[in-house]
Amino acid sequence: MNHTRPLTIALLLLAAALSACSPQRDMHPAARAQAAPPQGAPAAVARGKIEVEGGLLDLAPASAGVVRQLAVKEGQQVQKGQLLLRLADDEQRAELGVAQSELQLAQARARARVARLPALRQTLERWQAAVREGAAEAQGLDEATQALQAAQSDAQVAEAEVAVARKKLEQLQTQLKRLELHAPEAGVAVRVAAQPGAPVASGAPAVVLLPARPLLVRAELNESFVPAVRVGMRANVVADGDGGGAQAAFPEARVLRISPVYSSARLQDDPLRGPVRVVDCLLAFDQPPQAARVGQNVRVTFHE
């Protein structure tokens, strides 16, 4: 009896059953779509750097002087209007005190001269009535009129003196404010160059502030990739570390602006071809990147 034929038939049936039970064949269409490799290649790639919108703020006092009070430390969060430092202001405060006294004196003098006017007006009115009734001569009326006019002129001069004294006081107050440095907006003091008792020059940065603004990516788009990138295009951003291993990924970004001019690359070079021509491309994150730092190098992959 030949046992080979039944064995062959059994093997063929087993092969057909295994083919029918293939995982790819039994997989749901949606699952097969997820398991399929991503379609299409990146539209462009570029190196970039993370920066804060508007850049870091170099803060300096408006006047030169010696630091009397330093009210901020590196790494400290500051609010808008918060005092950062104050320069020595003894001379200015002394002048301010004198100006305040001069203003008070001018105001008192003006009040005294204005207080004389009602009585002089009443005297003039009585002379006018007496002259109309023929009970007095015109000479007395003229003298009363001149006295009132002189008093009015003195009152006007006194008011002008008050205005001058007030203006002087305001100027000294402005000069005093120039000796103080306040935070123009909220942020983090990333560097403090001033020290108590040390002089600072006018315009020399005393505090560097990282403002509380959105972080952006400025990517250097190689000239060969410029036609493939457009405003609004999506992009993936990852940290550009020199070491191996996994690279930190940031939230997805989108293209905000593409520069209309070419420039020389700062983040990439080609020893064989020389300087690389690039176009700056600015991208905004969809969500604030938690682990990103200003100045950090990144790699950007643009996609449709």
Beta strands in 144-296 (DSSP E): 180-182, 187-192, 199-200, 207-211, 215-222, 234-239, 253-258, 263-264, 277-285
pLDDT of residue 27: 40
Task: Indicate the pairing of strand 297-303 with strand 234-239.
Answer: antiparallel
Confidence of residue 90 (pLDDT cuts 50, 70, 90): confident
pLDDT (average), residues 143-168: 94
Confidence of residue 271 (pLDDT cuts 50, 70, 90): low
pLDDT of residue 83: 96
Residue 108 has pLDDT above 80, yes or no: yes
pLDDT of residue 19: 43
Residue 105 has pLDDT above 60, yes or no: yes
Percent of the chain with pLDDT over 90: 64
Q: Which domains does the chain have, with CATH numbers?
A: 44-54+213-303 (2.40.30.170), 89-176 (1.10.287)
In angstroms, the first-to-last Cα distance of the chain is: 69
Q: Which of 190, 194, 161 shows the shortest CA–CA distance to 57?
A: 190
CA distance 137 to 126: 12
Strand partners, 77: 188
pLDDT of residue 273: 59
Amino acid at 151: A
Nearest-10 crossing angle of helices 138-177, 90-115:
160
pLDDT of residue 9: 44
Nearest-10 crossing angle of helices 117-132, 138-177:
160
pLDDT of residue 242: 56
User: Degrees (nearest 5) of the Cα angle 72, 87, 204?
Assistant: 75
Residue holding tokens 């030169």? 64
Reduced to 3 DSSP states, what percent helix, strand and coil does the chain have, rounded to the nearest 5? Answer: 35, 25, 35
- Weakest mean pLDDT among 26-30, 53-57, 167-171: 26-30
Give the pair of three-digit tokens for residue 31.
């699952």
Note the pLDDT tens digit of each residue in 6-23: 444 443 443 443 344 343
Residue 299 has pLDDT above 70, yes or no: yes
pLDDT (average), residues 218-225: 93
Classify residue 72 by burial, with Cβ atoms within 10 Å: 0-12, 13-18, 19+: buried
CA–CA distance from 19 to each of 14, 25, 58, 119, 133 (Å)?
9, 9, 71, 122, 136
- Weakest mean pLDDT among 35-44, 135-144, 189-198, 218-227: 35-44
Confidence of residue 269 (pLDDT cuts 50, 70, 90): low
Note the pLDDT tens digit of each residue in 109-129: 999 999 999 999 999 899 889
Confidence of residue 276 (pLDDT cuts 50, 70, 90): confident
